[in-house]
Structure 1
Amino acid sequence: MKCKKLIFAAILLACSCVLWPQTSWSQSANDFVVEDIRVEGLQRVALGAALTYLPVQRGDTLNQFRVSQLIRSLYSSTHFERVEIFRDGNVLVVKVSERPTISNIVFEGNDDIKDEQLQESLDNSNIRIGEPLDRTVITSIENGLKDFFYSIGKYNADVTAIVTPLPRNRVDVKLLFEEGDAAKIRQINIVGNQIFEDEELFKQMELKFNTPWWDFLSETRYQQQTLSGDMETIESYYKDRGYLQFAIESTQVSMSPEKDGIYVTMNVKEGEIYEVSDVELAGDLLGFEDFISTILPIRTGQIYNQATVTYTEEFISNYLGRFGYAYPTVTTIPDINEEEKTVKLTLSVDPGKRIYVRRIAFKGNTITSDDVLRQNVVQMEGSWLANQSLETSKAQLSRLTYMEEVEFETIRLPNEDDKVDVEFTVKEQPAGSFNAGIGYGDATKLSLQAGIQQDNFLGTGKRVGVSLNTVSYQRSAQITYLDPYFTIDGISLGGSIGYSEFDGASFNVIDFNTKRWSVGGNLGYPINEVNRISFGLTYSNVELQRDNTRYVQTARFYDQFLNPNDPDAAIEYDSFLASVSWTRNTLNRGLFPTAGSTQRASFSVTTPNSDVNYFKFVADTKWYFPLTRNQRWSVLARLRLGYGNGYGDKNGVEQILPFTDNFTAGGADTLRGFENNTVGPRGVVRQSSVIATTPNGVPIFQNPENDQIALSQRSLGGNAMALGGLELIVPTPFVDEEFDNSVRTSIFTDVGNVWDTEFNYDLYRTLNLVSSSDELLDYSDWKLYRASAGVSVQWISPMGPMVFSFSRALKERPGDDARFFTFNIGSTF
């Protein structure tokens, strides 16, 4: 670029008007001593700034050579479009015409190149709003953009730069694009192949031709870069199958006269299959020769495989990188035996110097403090550089829910061949969720909700949550807190306090009311980078009103606290719930992962001194399997199991799991396609008719065999749960790849059930139902599963995660509430 500017300055110098009035001075016929300097034509550039570019001062002798220097210096400042030099007596007069200032830049007609990419290209050429316009660069930009269009097969494309003058020496710059249609590949010919048929090789190529109408995803337009990649793919295809001497000898690309069709011909030489006769290690392996030799991926007697050779080189490099040798050189030297069709491979290893980390820095974190990020970095300053530690650090940072992207770079220090700086570049994303709303429904009446959870409170990495909820059937408030970096060893400390009131009658489900206070704390201990164990203890006080409807499932729980003197009195019980949980996390990201897995198992049990004695076990696992290299296509498999029950007895009644702690299913986090918490056992009411009354007023009931039963409209939940599903994660239509970490689309199928292992179906199956539209099911049967399928779109919005699900129930049971469309805000992913 500098060379171009000098050439342009020389041309302008030759064209400049240099006027020298006829006069005489003692030095020579053309020399004179400058008594004063006058600069004319300045508008935007200050006089003082212009004088700094003049290599002449008062008292200097000016000659033709110094004039050339003066003009060259002014043009090199990039401020001036024209320069003229005059002499007025012994006064040097410099007349300039400043370059116009760019007022606006407009792109029109560009489809294949985004405005942001174009502006970045212009920035590299110093073409930006507010800067002076260098007209000499415009032509090179036009030609460069035309070359780009030619490389993607648009040979009729044209780019025109229009510069429109404006008042006050300003200009508008418009880049007008006429892209035209891309040339289609009419035919691809492969000449010289005998081992593999054309169709087999065409399958390996990204470029296609003669595709059926329905295969609209195939790439049929010619792109030079894609063709180069296909040639490398075909070469790898052969060499991975032993054809060591394979080569593409020539490639011809021809165009139709209309420039809309491309014909590609590749001439190949296949050669023969080679076998590995021997593998040797050479160079300095730092004493690891025996170990590396034992686990080398490539072995003697195998068919030559180029991919295995490359992997072997990377394996040795990565292994040495664990011990601080971050820049080893591993070269495979083949010794080919043409007669026996074998090859001896010598792996030459130069480990280089052991590299140490001088400093670790972070870039891109505007909210999260460096100390929080440093807590997740296992690579230490002052120690040797270990690639495994860097990758582990990147993985741990990526799993933070408030990190969208994490990358790292090792920067070699000048004059320090054994030291580097490590710089982590992070991109943050919304670190919490907010939910608020107002609504009205037949069952809920007026409802108000408000809640906020911040996973990165004030950039400290601490999780703080506050939620308030009030509907006709429930009012609740909860505060949660978690400090994942309570100690430098990674021990976490958390706690919560909450209060809720629930009115079952208002919800038209079960006639009971509860008031619950709870407070608890937990400690977490890291086992290693991916495993963690936590311990917790929660105290709860529950006041539960009597169930006047007498559901058979809830009556059994109430009977534990039966007061013969006041059978309808409310009950109150305290409990201390101790818990232990184990988590394992190898996901590549905290939100919207595409690879890795996560497992969690927890066991909780009330202490023997509690008023209710029960236990619960929950296990949850998710596995992500990427289907493509860029991981835009992945498969998610998930499974969740749960079981709870009571232990011991109270007042001679065997204890069971309180129905207020039952498992429920239905909704975005469990079974999409069903209304929230509606899947599972229904409440069963057994009704007996009075056929007579004794003289003392004691009712006489009919034979129990003639009793009737009624079912609740909503599920009571159960003490056992099994939920699972499969999801195909696909690129979101009409959304650019750069937004994959904030928008996700998946095609899913969910299956599962909630059941009650304590329900005795034989006691009720022969009884008549009060409503002929109801149907009694065996609520203890785990095989009464539900299933659904559909499409889900998830978005990390500024208010928190949003989930839109369109689903259809594939398997439902009587009484289920199936929903085609569901929407959630602030849900947990």
Structure 2
Amino acid sequence: MKKSLLSVLITGLFSLPVMAFEPFTVKDIRVEGIQRTEAGTVFSYLPVKVGDTLNDDKAAQSIKSLFATGFFKDVRIEVEKDVMVVVVQERPAIANLNFVGLKEFDKDVILKALKETGIAEGRIFDRSLLDKAEQELKRQYLSRGKYSATITTTVTPLERNRVGINFNIEEGDAAKIKQINIVGAKAFSEKELLSRFELTTPGLLTWYTKNDQYSRQKLSGDLEKLKSFYLDQGYLEFNVESTQVSISPDKRDVYITVGITEGERYKVSSVKLAGDFNIPESELKKLVQVRAGDVFSRERLNASTKAISDRLGQEGYAFANVNAAPEIDKEKHLVAFTVFVDPGKRVYVRRVNVTGNTKTRDEVVRREIRQMEGGWYDADKVANSRQRIDRLGFFSEVTVETPPVPGTSDQLDVNLNVVEKPTGNLMLGVGTSSTDKFILSGSISQNNFLGSGNNVSIQVNSAKSYRTYAFSYTNPYFTPDGVSQGFDIYQRTVNTQNLAVAYYKSVSTGAGIRLGFPIGEKESISVGLAVDSTSISVDQTSPTRYQNYVRDYGETNLSLPVTVNWVSDGKDSYFFPTRGTYQKAGIEVAIPGGDLTYYKANYQLQHYIPLSKRFTLMLNGEVGYGNGIGNMDLPFFKNYFAGGITSVRGYKTSSLGRVEPDPVTGTEYRVGGNRRIVANTELLWGMPGMESAARIGLFFDAGQVYASGETLDLGQLRYSTGISAAWLSPVGPLKFSIGFPLNKKETDKTESFQFQLGTVF
């Protein structure tokens, strides 16, 4: 009965606008009432064409089809002799969208969200869609914690059948988390558990992080962190029983209550391996981090299964399954694990495919690949290949897929997909630093010249203290086995007028050639030979020592420096490392044949230790030693200096070391030294919300330089502490530090705030 009534109603609805008529053959079709819609658009939706027979059913179908387009709010079918007349009334179009009181969101973001709901300029206006858009806008405000936000929409008719939509918004203040309670915690204090939450009550940085505003996604993540913490502490039966979120009547305060059940703490009774190993069981057992008698830790158990899987992957078992099955004794609170190992079939690589390199030559990418076609699959080699390609700097993204070959069980392909980025740079810059007040700089470089992987660059720097003009060329694969070759042409000027050392000016012009030899995946040795001509200028304010040097050796000296460097780079990131070790050892020797003969040896050790997901400890140590060869002393302009933002912060640049009075003028000046010691310890963490672009640090620095003949007394080290920051800003790299000297002497020159800023345009 109900179905028949509904059928009658539907038939009646679509038959109301249709005039009763006898069926006839349509000789023509005319459309009336359209303003924006083309007549051809109406014809395309009609189920009736010229020559068809029009009856009541087809007329009703025509009306239904035109209504379904959403273009019209009224449709009628009329008949004039043998002409079918379609009379329509168009829906208005949206002429503009205006927002009053919109502050929390960018207007473009809101327009994009509304467009997804069907509301946008130029589209047909639909009241139901407007209601949906209003709800979407309210949802956006709720996601920002603004529960008191009110939105009123006004639709204004305009000429030519258009409407303007105005959103009047009263945003109100964001509700803040007033309190978070954890009910049921016994083994750990509520304070310790809440320290693992991202959500928090208002604090020093919450104005920026917004972590004091409730978010369902953040709360879900925090509850998962809480569960992981308990499971890592042995509480296998831990469970979140309930979560309650309430808001105060004035919609300003949010209260969160989490109810938990801890259960009992479990220890591991035994760990066994079972299955087909294909690798000595004793070797796999060494990878298991869970031992009998230990408190159960899910993190260590997962790390164990992953280590076994990765080890099997090194032997070609790409599809190994490693799973730990628990046996729980609830009475004794013990758990035993059997780790089932199923290596599957050993597979080899059929093909290595490289895609996405439209500009870079295929060989440039392939020479970095360590997984060979036709060889057994090795997970380490595949991962190393991806890292080496990424370190080229030619690509913004490098992804690896290892799909099995269809129809086989022992083959797979390695698909490396790269997304190229511009590798040529034309930069003009203005910069400033605490040492040089104004810097003009520029460079033209192409790191991937003509897709060959070669580097070509021209560099200009007009700083008053350190001025540089240089041209460099490097071919990283001068030979097929990875020997690099390059050369440099340069002119470097040092003017100490603005530094904390005695005045002199040196202009060095030269050229050199370099060769690099890889001795490991992360290690290399480079050697270089250069010809350098250095001119020294002094004046009456320069120390007598400097003036005597110019008198004895002349204003211009030729040298033939030979350099040998060893580098081992195991850092996980170039800009903001979190783990790994970097080492560099080098020696520069000016060999006989030039006017100057000397040597300088340097060593640097840098180590990054991840303390947690947020904090990293950086340890850095540098030592340097130099001297003359034969009867010659180390030239004074080759001396070591320390102090400043790159060594011991809080002390003025190049200000450390012995202070000597000039025997003639009596003026005190810094002489530098032939030995240098610098040590830095820094606790680093990413700025919340900007971890990939900004980092903050608390540092402790130590360092000193010692002049020739001076006793190397560690009691003369200068110490400082303070806070540092580094930011890869849109206008260039920014570094600054606020340092506080800890054992300043009377002759020391200090500088608390030090910075470097480069602006690229």
- SS for the counterpart of 2:662 is strand
**Contact 2:559–2:594 (CA<8 Å) still a contact in 1?**
yes
1:497 aligns with 2:489: yes
- Preserved CA contact (<8 Å) 1:516 1:542: yes
Q: Indicate the residue corresponding to 1:718 in structure 2.
A: 673
Alpha-carbon offset, residue 464 of structure 1:
0.8
Q: Kindly tell me: are residues 74 and 463 of structure 1, through their superposed partners in 2, closer, same or farther at Cα, counting changes over 3 Å?
A: farther
Matched, 1:737 2:689: yes
What is the CA deviation profile of residues 499-520 of structure 1, one whole-angstrom value per residue up to 9, with x for unaligned ones? 3577889999768775543110
Question: What does residue 656 of structure 2 align with?
Answer: 679
Alignment of 1:687-726 (within 5 A): 687=664, 710-713=666-669, 715-726=670-681
Q: Which residue of 1 aligns with 2:443?
A: 452
Tell me, yes or no, if the aligned pair for 1:163 and 1:173 is still in contact at 8 Å.
yes
> What amino acid sits opposite 1:227 in the alignment?
L
- Give secondary structure in 2 for the equivalent of 1:751: strand
What SS does structure 1 have at the residue aligned with 2:306?
Answer: helix
- TM-score normalized with structure 2 length: 0.79
Report what 2:585 is aligned to.
601
Q: Give yes or no for contact 2:430–2:438 (8 Å, CA) kept in 1.
A: no
How big is the shift at 1:522?
A: 0.7
Instruction: Check whether the contact 1:754–1:782 (CA below 8 A) recurs between aligned residues.
Output: no
Structure 1 portions without partners, runs of 5+: 1-10, 26-31, 559-566, 688-708, 760-777
Unaligned runs of 5+ in 2: 1-8
Go from structure 1 to structure 2 and tell me whether the alpha carbon gap of 1:450 and 1:325 turns closer, same or farther (over 3 Å shift). Answer: same
User: Distance between the aligned counterparts of 1:655 and 1:117, measured in 2?
Assistant: 69
- Preserved contact between residue 398 and residue 589 of structure 1 (Cα < 8 Å): no
CA distance in 1, matches of 2:135, 2:113: 13
Question: Residue in 2 aligned with 1:643?
Answer: 625
What's the offset of the Cα at 1:583?
A: 1.6
1:182 Cα offset (Å): 5.0
1:479 corresponds to which of 461, 471, 495: 471
* TM-aligned CA deviation for residue 248 of structure 1: 3.0
Q: Which amino acid aligns with 2:656?
A: V
Letter in 2 for 1:24: E
Aligned AA (2:447) = N
Separation in structure 2 between the aligned mates of residue 476 and residue 301 of structure 1, nearest angstrom: 64
- Per-residue Cα deviation, 1:317-372 (whole angstroms, up to 9, x for no partner): 44445566666554443332334433333444566785876644349x9x988876
Give me the whole-angstrom Cα distance separating, in 1, the residues matched to 2:343 and 2:326. Answer: 20
- Structure 2 distance, partners of 1:132, 1:358, is 51
Deviation string 1:662-704 (CA, Å, 9 cap, x unpaired) is 22234433344444434334565334xxxxxxxxxxxxxxxxx
1:23 maps to: 21
- Give the aligned partner of residue 581 of structure 1: 565
Please list the CA deviations of residues 627-684 of structure 1 after superposition, one character each: whole Å capped at 9, or x if unmatched.
553x4x544433322111123x2xxxx2222222122234433344444434334565
Per the alignment, residue 525 of structure 1 pairs with: 517
SS in 2 for 1:225: helix
Query: Is the alpha carbon distance of 1:336 and 1:744 closer, same or farther for their aligned partners in structure 2, counting shifts above 3 Å?
Result: closer
Contact 1:588–1:594 at 8 Å: present in 2 too?
yes
Count of residue pairs the alignment pairs up: 742
Larger displacement relative to structure 2 (339-348 or 426-435):
426-435
Please name the residue that 1:665 is paired with: 642
Aligned counterpart, 2:750: 818
For each residue in 1:163-220, what CA deviation from the matched residue of structure 2 results, as whole angstroms up to 9, or x when unmatched?
A: 55555555555555545455555665555554445555444444556x8999988955
Report how far residue 600 of structure 1 moved.
1.8
Contact 1:356–1:385 (Cα < 8 Å) also in 2: no
Matches for 1:361-440 after TM superposition, within 5 Å: 361-362=355-356, 388-389=380-381, 391-393=383-385, 395-396=387-388, 399=391, 406=397, 408=399, 410=401, 421-424=415-418, 434-435=428-429
> Are 2:134 and 1:142 equivalent residues in the alignment?
yes
Report the Cα distance in structure 1 between the residues aligned to 2:188 and 2:692, rounded to whole angstroms. Answer: 41
**Residue in structure 2 matched with residue 564 of structure 1 by the alignment:** none
Secondary structure of residue in 1 paired with 2:666? strand
Match of 1:279 among 242, 260, 271: 271
Partners of 2:627 and 2:634 within 8 A in 1 = yes
Question: Counterparts of 1:157 and 1:552 in 2: how far apart (Å)?
Answer: 76
Tell me: CA distance 1:18–1:788, structure 2 relative to 1, closer, same or farther (3 Å).
farther
Kindly state the Cα deviation for residue 747 of structure 1 after the two structures are TM-superposed: 4.7
Letter in 2 for 1:599: Q
Distance 1:784 1:233 in 2: 48
Aligned to 2:3: none
Alpha-carbon distance in 2 for matches of 1:400, 1:233: 36
| Contact in 1 for aligned 2:386/2:400 (Cα 8 Å) | no
SS of 1:638's partner is strand
Aligned CA distance change for structure 1 residues 666 and 507 (closer, same or farther; 3 Å): closer
Corresponding position: 1:344 with 2:344: no
Tell me the percent identity. Answer: 32
Distance 1:36 1:337, change over 3 A: farther
Structure 1 279/205 Cα, relative in aligned 2: closer, same or farther at 3 Å? Answer: same
Cα distance in structure 1, aligned partners of 2:374 and 2:210: 51
* Structure-2 residue corresponding to 1:801: 733
Amino acid paired to 2:672: G
Instruction: Note if contact 2:196-2:222 (Cα within 8 Å) is conserved in structure 1.
Output: yes
Cα distance in 2, alignment partners of residues 152 and 146 from structure 1: 10
| In 2: Cα distance, 1:719 partner to 1:282 partner | 63
Q: 1:76 to 1:179 in 2, by over 3 A?
A: same
Contact 2:197 2:225 in 1 (8 A): yes
Q: Does 1:751 align with 2:702?
A: yes
Alignment partner, residue 466 of structure 1? 459
Question: Aligned-pair distance for 1:276?
Answer: 3.0
Q: Deviations over 1:588-642 (max 9, x none)?
A: 333344444432221121234444322111223333445553x4x5444333221
Q: Is the 8 A contact 2:701 2:719 kept in 1?
A: yes
Contact 2:206 2:212 in 1 (8 A): no
Relative distance call for 1:428 and 1:634 in structure 2 (3 A) is farther
Give deviations 1:66-123, integer Å, cap 9, x for gaps.
5566566556666x25362514344444455566655555566566666565455445
Could you tell me how far 1:260 is from its partner in structure 2?
Answer: 4.9
1:306 counterpart = 2:261: no
Show the 5 A alignment for 1:66-81: 70=62, 80-81=71-72
Structure 2 CA distance for partners of 1:425 and 1:683, relative to 1, 3 Å: same
Deviation at 1:750, TM superposition (A): 3.7
